[in-house]
Amino acid sequence: MVLVIAIIAVAGFIVYAFSLMEIEDQYGDYQEIFYKSKDSDIIVNEETSQFGIVGKNWKRLNVWTKKIDSTD
């Protein structure tokens, strides 16, 4: 029984580590934005003065604007 629990714990840790690596690969230096943002936050591009609404799921950010919807 202890062996089964240990195997499940190790497998869970590996899956969690892979999901963290996927977020790091996708967002690189901007992964802080991924972790700090929440669903329905407002995001502003300071260079173009455009804004959008963030939609977030467990591994992607979606930004909805008036013109273009994008995933990343």
pTM: predicted TM-score of the whole model, two decimal places: 0.67
Q: Give the total number of structural domains in the chain.
A: 1
- State the residue range of the domain holding 45: 2-71
Q: What is the DSSP string of 28-42?
A: GGGHHHHHH--TT-E
pLDDT at 58: 83
Query: Residue 19 is inside which H or E element, if any?
Result: helix 2-27
Q: Over the stretch 12-69, which tens digit does the pLDDT of each residue have?
A: 999 999 999 999 999 989 888 889 999 889 988 888 888 889 998 888 888 888 876 6
CA distance 69 to 59: 17
CA distance 23 to 33: 11
What's at 28, amino acid-wise? G
CA distance 19 to 67: 31
